Amino acid sequence: MTDLKFFATTPKAMEDILVTELKQLGAKNVKAALAGAYFEGPLETVYRVCLWSRIANRVLLSLATFTVTSQEDLYDGIYKINWFEHMGPDDSFAVSFNTKGSKAINNTHFGAIKVKDAVVDQMRKKFNKRPDINITQPNIRINVYLQNEQATLSLDLSGESLHRRGYRDISITAPIKENLAAAILYRSQWLDIAQQGGSLIDPMCGSGTLLVEAAMIAGDYAPGLQHKQFGFLHWKKHDSQIWQSLVDEATQRKQIGLEKIPTIVGFDQSRRAINAALLHIENAGLQSKIHVERRDISEATVAESWQQGLLVCNPPYGERLGNSEETAQLYRTFGQVLKKQFNHWQAAMIISDPELGFRLGIRSQKPITLFNGPLECKLLRFSIEEKNFFTPKAKSQQERIEQIKAEDTVADPNAEMFANRLKKNIKKISKWVKRQDIHCYRVYDADLPEYAVAIDVYQGEKTWLNVQEYQAPKTISQEKAMLRLSTAVNEIARIYALPKEQIYLKTRSKQKGMEQYEKLANLGTFETVEEHGAFFLVNFEDYLDTGLFLDHRPIRLKIQQQAKNKHFLNLFAYTGTASVHAAIGGASSTTTVDMSKTYLDWAQRNMALNKNLSNNRFIRADCVEWLKVEADKSDPEKSYDLIFLDPPTFSNSKRMDDNLSIQDDHIELINHAVKLLSAGGILYFSTNFRRFKLVTEQLGHLTITDITAQTIPDDFSRTPRIHYCWEIKCP
């Protein structure tokens, strides 16, 4: 039988797999080309390729090559072919025309019309009848590729693209084509694993393409058995006897192979995806060989009966999810699941961004390039072994926190030392907080330099822990800092017997220049806590601070005790907690001033939380400017018996005319504030700037008493410079 010349097409970067496959199928003179491979062989070989190739898209039979420098050259070259050898006048046909670099014809539609005209004219001349054009389901497909001045004329023997096996509902969008799925499995050595009895799991199976292709490969199931529209079935040179013998052989091999398919399981969180997968599995006749169920990736586990094998998936990536942080979190979670549930398995996944693979925290083999349509992707392959695990460098503070809270192991050798110190502190402080009826307090504050964290306890409807990490010095590696912090978080959770959802972690870094802390999130979740009869809303997630400065507890209590029948002014009020204490203490009125709408709204909510409190006003203003204006009035709008002045160390808000620096501006602030004091009134001035120096020589006209020691509570005694506080009176 005479050998014919063919060209099989395939997606880019899959050519080498196609070459190997063609050789295994008996093709001769196989030669790789861009997005395909040339080969030779008799009809039986091309039939076998159409029936068994898992990688090819189309198989083209070469009819002729000729030079095209004009439209007439194209017409003449097509007309010279004896089309009656390939089709009859009653057959339908379609033309696929592509051109690249041609000066004669650069319009594909025009080129296709020229080819069609040549075929129709020849048939009409011979038979006085012309074949019909059928674009969707033609009997014969003619393919012409014109590159520069060289035209290649072929018959498409595959008909419909071979990647369409016949089991997938075309109305259901699949994120990968069947031949790409097969390439992923070939690259991942799935056939070798399956032949050794290894299982396959796709934890994000979608519509089940990888599952079905894996079963077909393991079960010696020819992908063309359900392909109904081959291009050679109506070709005049088709040999139905040879074809049927190959189909019979493939059917017999399938029956034997189905019994050899190992465990294949798919999970997906989408009910719609699972329903699609079930449909496709049933269409392929594999419903007894593949198990799928609705399950989130975080719940993916291995049954005891499943032999270690291959975990393979096409996880969502940026192009499919859109939200970069959501995508990164998915990959972090996936990495944790792989490490905990699939130790000693092989894994493979296709992704568009290698950085996402890095989020998994498992070292991979050299990535392999594949194309999902036009999108260049990387196939990552892993051996899930502890020696390959690592902690990826966090891209954001929030990501770092998620990494730390996700760690369950305690590997730091000093873990016991930290645990003992924390338990000692808890025992020591427990009697004090009970005696003082305190519900929010600090239990640990970098007592051990290796564990430089502050741990604050908040008790309300539940117990919450706010853990603040002090930024490690540059001499400490990120890995060591991560290890210590994850150890601390795990020990804290163990000692307090709390789920990690009730432990909040933040990093308090040293501010430089006029830097200010930024908002961390926007979840808007508030919890209620109580302090000396006052109720406050605290937020553990959206901000670095919770809305309640615990070190100011004593001064707030002092204000509550002194506020009865007095007019109280709260400047730089933050969330208004001092105002609430004054109101509870029986103040005649409270005035709360802050520039932030967020914090002023929070202050109003705090006041509303404490019912039956009246005569409380809230002013949104730049406190520096507001004080200046009020103090400059010959007759201030209001005088106050009690004032709390607690400015930030610095502020560069856009709403301020000038930047505020407490060291430079405290004289002016204090002088303006005392002008608003009534006779016998008291100003409490506080700052948390650790290097602050009160310039008393410029305040000699005032009576100033340093009450810092009285306002540092026992739970902050380890850090006596947490704030400074003075009582200031006019003589």
3-state class percentages of the chain: helix first, strand second, coil last, to nearest 5 = 35, 25, 40
Number of domains in the chain: 4
The distance of Cα 634 from the centroid of its chain, to the nearest Å, equals 60
**Which residue, 712, 167, 79, 212, is CA-closest to 441?**
712
What is the rounded distance in angstroms from the CA atom of residue 1 to the CA atom of residue 646? 97
- State both tokens at 580: 């609430």
Q: Which secondary structure element, helix H or strand E, spans residue 248, and what is its range?
A: helix 240-257
Assess whether 388 and 440 both reside in one domain.
no
CATH number at residue 369: 3.40.50.150
Residue 381 in domain: yes
- 214 and 312 fall within a common domain: yes
Residue 234 lies in a domain: no
> Stretch 349-369: mean pLDDT, rounded?
92
Tell me the residue range of the domain where 312 lies: 178-221+255-392
In a domain, 266, yes or no: yes
Note whether residue 227 is domain-resident.
Answer: no
Single-letter residue type at 269: Q
| Beta-carbon contacts of residue 697 (< 8 Å; ≥ 6 apart) | none
Are 16 and 133 in a shared domain? Answer: yes
pLDDT of residue 411: 60
Are 345 and 455 contained in the same domain?
A: no
Report the alpha-carbon distance of residue 461 to residue 538 in Å, rounded: 12
pLDDT of 150 above 90 = yes
- Please report the pLDDT score of residue 517 as a whole number: 41
Report H helices in 289-414.
318-321, 324-341, 354-358, 397-406
Tokens 């674009």 map to which residue?
135
229: in domain: no
Q: Are 13 and 123 members of one domain?
A: yes
Instruction: Judge whether residue 717 has pLDDT over 50.
Output: yes
Q: What percent of the chain has pLDDT over 90?
A: 79
**Is the pLDDT assigned to residue 636 strictly greater than 80?**
no
Predicted confidence (pLDDT) at residue 656 exceeds the cutoff of 80: no
Task: Tell me, yes or no, whether 31 and 70 share the same domain.
Answer: yes
CA dihedral 663, 665, 668, 669 (to 10 degrees): -90
Q: Are 548 and 483 contained in the same domain? A: no
The number of helix segments (H) and strand segments (E) in the chain equals: 21, 30
Do 470 and 383 sit in the same domain of this protein? no
Choose the final residue of a domain: 473, 508, 543: 508
At residue 630, the pLDDT reads 92
Could you give the CA distance from residue 442 to residue 663 in angstroms, rounded to a whole number? 28
Q: Do the domain assignments include residue 172?
A: no
Q: Looking at 358, 375, 392, which one is the last position of a domain?
A: 392
pLDDT mean over 441-451: 94
CATH of the domain at 453: 3.30.750.80
pLDDT at residue number 326: 73
Q: What is the mean pLDDT of the chain?
A: 92
Residues 199-228 pLDDT 10s: 999 999 999 999 999 999 999 999 999 998
Burial class (CB in 10 A: 0-12, 13-18, 19+), 634: exposed
Pair 261, 369 in one domain:
yes
Averaged pLDDT, 158-165:
96
- Is residue 248 in a domain? no
What pLDDT digit, counting tens, does each position of 240-258 carry?
999 999 999 999 999 999 9
Question: ∠ at Cα 49 (46, 54), nearest 5°?
Answer: 160
Residues 562 and 474 in one domain: no
Q: State how far the alpha carbon of 233 is from the alpha carbons of 134, 164, 444, in Å.
A: 16, 17, 80
Q: What pLDDT digit, counting tens, does each position of 277-322 carry?
A: 999 999 999 999 999 999 999 999 999 999 999 999 999 765 444 4
> Residue 401's pLDDT is what?
63
Distances (CA, A) of 486 to 73, 388, 490, 493, 602: 74, 19, 6, 11, 32
The mean per-residue pLDDT over the stretch 699-715 comes to: 95
When pLDDT is cut at 50, 70 and 90, the band that residue 475 belongs to is confident
Residue 644 belongs to what H/E stretch? strand 640-645
The last residue of a domain, from among 392, 422, 456: 392
CA-nearest of 99, 280, 76 to 172 is 280
Report yes or no on 522 lying in a domain: no
Are residues 331 and 198 located together in one domain of the fold? Answer: yes
320 and 438 in one domain? no
